[in-house]
Structure 1
Amino acid sequence: MQHLRAQPCSPLPGRLTEGPVWDTRRQELLWVDIPDGLVHRAALTHGDAKPDLAVFSALRLDRPVGAVQPCASGALLAAAGTSVLRLREDRPVTEAVELAAPVLPEDGVPRRMNDAAVDPAGRLLAGTMAYDESPGAGALYRLDGDGLTTLLESVTISNGLGWSPDGTLLYYADSPTGRVDVFAYDIATGTLSDRRPFAVLDRGVPDGLTVDAEGRVWVAVWGGGEVLAFTPEGTPHARVAVPASHVTSCAFAGPDLDVLVITTATEGLPADRRLAEPDAGRLFVCRPGGRGLPSVPYADH
């Protein structure tokens, strides 16, 4: 198995940085800081031959933001609070328009949107979770031109989403299960079937994930201080050590999609671990030798 180590980037640490995505059209990285409602944008730089990130924009929403994705129209799509918002940045003040919101159970359990990703046909898949991580309180939804559809119920922490290179498999993590599952995915209809375990972690829990051009699945391990990569058959391929316990997500970035960008968090770290991990909450990079798949924008026109 390949062993790698990630290096910290320049942006200042966040509380719960998450959801990195490379906007191929704009050649920039997007990511969020969930509890602070921040959407960041940065350029990838290569000073001293080491990849780094130079932030040029930070947008603050009035609610926690679980994920952000580029749209075909040039706008941004944010899974924020308990809604999906379309953000227009070409106005004097950024305009947020609610596109959809799931009908949530009237059980008094506060919930929020968590991870989200766009499928090969331009649909958004977005999941929810309870703030207190109540078992089974979350769900996974699909948003397209026909509106919002529930794909999975009784999810605890809806997390990592990624598709195989041909789009026929969806990898998905409900974090407390300790494993990544794989579904057969119908690209024509956006429906799921044939759920089965793909990879079981021996420590920590799976958080965000990404899939490379060879079909390998790269999984951020919350509580494990690493990103683990698995072959399409589910066997270990690589381990990327990260000097931060709470690794939240990862994505391939850059013109050649050959830089793995990794997000981390300080949220939930006890004081002694925070002192021992001064770079916790930062973004990290490494070059693992593979290339990612281009992101697909949400089809909003």
Structure 2
Amino acid sequence: MRERDATVRCVLDIRAESGETPVWSVAEQKLFWVDQEACRLNAFDPASGINESWQMPAHVSSFALRGAGDPVVVALRTGLFDFDRTSGTLEPIAAPPPYRVETHRYNDGRCDRQGRYLIGSVDLSFFESKVPGGAAIYRLDGAGLTEVIRDITCSNGMAFSPDGRTLYLADSPAGVVYAFDYDIETGTPSNRRVFIERDRGDGIFDGAEVDAEGGYWVCLLMKGAVARYTPDGRLDREIAVPVLQPTKIAFGGPDMATLYLTSAAHRHLPGDQPLGEQAGGVFAIDTGFGGIAEPNYRY
């Protein structure tokens, strides 16, 4: 494994129930993130230590930034909306969710390099029925909401290669991260293949990010670690973090060289392993790698 010193520090000890989806805003120099279970969108300013928060009317899983001061696209369990941070209003921007709200919700999502928003779902009924494959990935752009990937159970680990031509996607219950060829002209994934596999007992794939060198970073839920894989699928390194449930990561900071990590204080799976004193906090990791700015939603 490649050796580079890594330091992990808690920058926001907030005890989020389920911190998720960090996205660094270059324009505002803030880290946006959500607390899914508490239904809150947040914006953290590392320079001041201030965390601003907005209450949503339903479970919020993911979002896409448009630009400084512009409405934020939020994925609520009840649908996709433009959220105005000043007025607090929500405006529907797509048809009702393409799933049964009683058994499904949106989950991981992010923008591709061209500014389309890809958002996955999770089939919550799987955890009782054990029947996989009931969720999907959707693309939101000028043509509306389009299903682009089927036959997954819980969408996680979504990330794009630096050139945008490879899409990575984890199906957490399966213990697999897939890679797809990605048509940057149409926003269409194809050629689904296994990128990496991991025994669930050695950590469950959760949120992910890609660095400027093409390395794929992924959170290992229930192991308390973040792993980096090379573009050819080799494990490059693992970094232990002081919480059992790291959830998602994003590069940020003035030079895009800080890896921010969200975590959960709500226990996701049965067990008695300690969650960590700062579970639910936001952490900053100095890895020696740099990231790529997340594109804004452009439609």
TM-score for both structures, normalised by structure 2: 0.91
Residue 60 (structure 1) aligned to one of 40, 55, 58? 55
> Paired residue for 1:200, among 197, 220, 225?
197
Aligned to 1:49: none
Q: Which residue of 2 aligns with 1:85?
A: 81
TM-superposition CA deviations, 1:195-220 (whole Å, max 9, x none): 11112224121111000100001001
CA pair 248-101 structure 1, distance change in 2 beyond 3 A: farther
Distance across 2 between alignment mates of 1:42 and 1:132: 34
Structure 2 residue 139 is matched with structure 1 residue 137:
no
What are the superposed Cα offsets for residues 46-72 of structure 1, whole Å, 9 maximum, x if unpaired?
xxxxxxx72331001010000122114
| Inter-partner Cα distance in structure 1 for 2:214 and 2:22 | 19
Paired position in structure 1 for 2:31: 29
Q: How far apart, CA to CA, are the structure 2 residues paired with 1:26 and 1:150?
A: 32
1:125 Cα shift?
0.2
Q: How far apart, in 2, do the equivalents of 1:29 and 1:248 lie?
A: 15
CA distance in 2, matches of 1:180, 1:266: 25
Q: Cα gap change, 1:232/1:205 in structure 2, threshold over 3 Å: closer, same or farther?
A: same
Residues 113-122 or 154-163, more deviating: 154-163
Query: CA separation in 2, counterparts of 1:290 and 1:236?
Result: 15
Check conservation: 1:5, 1:241, Cα contact below 8 A: no
Query: Residues 34-113 of structure 1: matches in 2 within 5 Å?
Result: 34-45=36-47, 54-72=49-67, 74-91=70-87, 94-101=88-95, 104-105=98-99, 109-113=102-106
Please tell me whether residue 183 in structure 1 is matched to residue 180 in structure 2: yes
Cα distance in 1 for partners of 2:35, 2:277 equals 18
Alignment identity in percent?
34
- Give distance in 1, aligned partners of 2:81 and 2:13: 25
Matches of 2:230 and 2:194, distance apart in 1 = 14
Question: How far apart, CA to CA, are the structure 1 residues paired with 2:259 and 2:233?
Answer: 20
Supply the AA of the counterpart residue of 1:13.
R
Is 2:144 aligned against 1:147? yes
- Taking the TM superposition and a 5 Å limit, the aligned residue runs for 1:277-292 are 277-292=276-291
Distance change >3 Å, CA 284–CA 294, structure 1 → 2: same
Aligned to 1:8: 10
Q: In structure 1, what residue type is equivalent to 2:13?
A: P
One-letter code of the match for 2:140? Answer: L
Question: Aligned AA for 2:118?
Answer: L
Shift of 1:132: 4.3
1:174 Cα offset (Å):
1.1
1:263 and 1:282 in contact (8 A); partners too: yes
Distance 2:95 2:61 in 1: 14
Q: Deviations over 1:49-96 (max 9, x none)?
A: xxxx723310010100001221147221111114111111233xx111
Q: CA deviation at 1:4?
A: 3.5
RMSD: 1.9
**CA-to-aligned-CA distance 1:239-259 (integer Å, 9 cap, x gap):** 111111111110101010100
The separation in 2 between residues aligned to 1:56 and 1:241, in whole angstroms, is 25
Give the distance between the partners of 1:170 and 1:277, measured in 2 at CA. Answer: 32
- Structure 2 CA distance for aligned equivalents of residues 233 and 39 of structure 1: 35
Residue 109 of structure 1, CA deviation: 4.4
Structure 1 unpaired stretches of 5+: 46-52
Gaps of 5+ in 2: none
Aligned to 2:273: 273
2:253 maps to 254
| 1:105 positional shift | 4.9
Q: Is the 8 Å Cα contact of residues 79 and 97 (structure 2) preserved in structure 1?
A: no
Contact 1:115 1:160 in 2 (8 A): yes
Q: Secondary structure at the match of 1:36?
A: coil
Change (3 A) 1:62 1:36: same
SS for the counterpart of 1:6 is strand
Aligned pair count reads: 289
Q: Secondary structure at the match of 1:9?
A: strand
